[in-house]
Structure 1
Amino acid sequence: MRLSTPTDTDRVISQYLAAWNAVDTVTRMRHLQASWSETALFRDPMACQVGRSAMHDHIARCQASYPGCRFIVTGSPIHYLDQIHFTWAVLDTFGSELLTGSHYGELDATGRIARLVGFFKSPAARSSSSISASL
């Protein structure tokens, strides 16, 4: 088990989201090499990917479906030992939120992401659940 620090957590999350925002394949892979274990597991409601190359291809498919969108960190990332958590948003080309969510993960012995599980919802779903909760 690797003990992460706030600096480690910020660095790995920054590199990971830079991979999501990189349109150039070489740049995307460079960011994944810095943040993503060769055999890392990624799961969210829409995908399950194993390995750095699979993650690279998954990001490319998402970018093709949503051209010009970008990921940002919202809030402050949290770490505990080798565990990380952060919240994020996807913004369209006008800066409007398309999707928000959170990721929970585990770092490997080198400080790269070994497992990441994502949860998300659209702003419309968030608004309707807020309305339901207030009734």
Structure 2
Amino acid sequence: MTDVRTLVEQYIAVWNETDGDKRRALIADVFTAAAGYTDPLGAVTGHDGIDQFIAGAQQQFAGLGFTLPAEPDAHHGLARFQWYLGTPGAAEPVAIGFDVVEIEDGKIAKVHGFLDKMPG
């Protein structure tokens, strides 16, 4: 479980990294080369696609950060976890989501994202 927790924390760090070069390096560490990411707002594959998707989300939600409100749940190469997006220190997150990741050789191969709460 510790390895999964670390991987999920690294995944959240990718979403919070605003420096493009550092974010791409984190993506290479966290995701397989052919990784896929799908949520209701889009679907992308590969490191470049994931980087571009995250950069777009960061522009849309500038100044906000992702956090993990609870421990991930994991078994058989799968992990699920909830995340919050909000202003650091704010009582209420702006957005809440739930991701399921497929893990291969210690990296994320696929992300299946769900949005529970989004700003109007």
Look at both structures and tell me which one has the larger radius of gyration over its CA atoms: 1
**Do structure 1's residue 20 and structure 2's residue 15 form an aligned pair?**
yes
Q: Secondary structure at the match of 1:79?
A: strand
- Deviation of the 1:59 alpha carbon: 0.5
* Map of 1:72 onto structure 2: 67
Provide structure 2 residue ranges, at least 5 long, that are not aligned to the other structure. none
Identity of aligned residues (%): 24
| Structure 1 residues 124 and 90: CA distance shift in structure 2, 3 A | closer
CA–CA distance in 2 between the matches of 1:83 and 1:92?
A: 29
Q: How many residues align?
A: 119
Higher helix share: 1
Q: Structure 1 residue 35: deviation in Å?
A: 1.0
**Is 1:105 paired with 2:101?**
yes
Separation of aligned partners in 2, 1:61 and 1:123 = 16
**Runs of 4+ with deviation above 6 angstroms:** none
SS in structure 2 of the partner of residue 14 of structure 1 = helix
* Residue 26 of structure 2 corresponds to residue 31 of structure 1: yes
Deviations 1:80-115 (A, max 9, x none): 02111111000135634111011011101x211001
Asked if 1:88 corresponds to 2:83, the answer is yes
Distance 1:60 1:94 in 2: 23
C-alpha contact 1:89 1:101 (8 A) present in aligned 2:
yes
TM-score (norm 2): 0.91
Contact 1:12 1:34 in 2 (8 A): no
2:49 matches 1:54:
yes
Q: Deviations over 1:24-71 (max 9, x none)?
A: 011111211121111111111111011111101111011111111100
